[in-house]
Structure 1
Amino acid sequence: MDPLIQPVIDACGYRLRPFNAGDAPLIQDASSDPLIPLITTVPCNGTRKEISEFIDRQHHRLVERSGYSFAIADADSDQALGQIGLWLKNSNHGRASIGYWVGPSHRNRGITSAALESISRWGLGQPDIHRLELYVEPWNEGSWKTAEHCGYMREGLLRSWEEIGGERKDMYMYSRLG
Structure 2
Amino acid sequence: MAAVREAAADPYIPLVTSVPVPYTHAEGLAFVARQHDRAARGVGYSFAVADGRAVGQIGLWPARDGGAVIGYWVVRSARGRGVAGRALAAVAGWGLDVLRLDLLTLRVEPWNEPSIRAATRVGFERSGSVSMEVGGVDREMWVYTLLP
Whether TM exceeds 0.5 here: the answer is yes
Q: What is the distance in 2 between the residues matched to 1:157 and 1:171?
A: 5
Unaligned runs of 5+ residues in structure 1 are 1-23
Match of 1:102 among 74, 84, 106: 74
CA-based RMSD? 1.1
Match of 1:172 among 137, 142, 147: 142
Size of the alignment, in residue pairs?
148
Write the mapping of 1:37-56 to structure 2, written as runs, cut at 5 A: 37-56=14-33
Give CA-to-partner distance per residue, 1:53-95, whole Å, 9 cap, x none. 1011001111221111000123xx4x1011111111x1x3111
Q: What is the distance in 2 between the residues matched to 1:151 and 1:128?
A: 17
Query: Tell me, what secondary structure is at the counterpart of 2:60?
Result: strand
Q: TM-score, normalised by structure 1?
A: 0.80
C-alpha contact 1:28 1:45 (8 A) present in aligned 2 = no
4+ runs deviating over 4 angstroms: none
State the match for 1:13 in structure 2.
none
Q: What is the distance in 2 between the residues matched to 1:35 and 1:44?
A: 11
State the shift of 1:128 in Å.
4.4
Write the mapping of 1:74-93 to structure 2, written as runs, cut at 5 A: 74=51, 77=52, 79-88=53-62, 90=63, 92-93=64-65
Greater helix share, 1 or 2?
A: 2
C-alpha contact 1:136 1:143 (8 A) present in aligned 2 = yes
Q: Percent identity?
A: 44
Q: TM-score, normalised by structure 2?
A: 0.95
Unaligned runs of 5+ residues in structure 2 are none
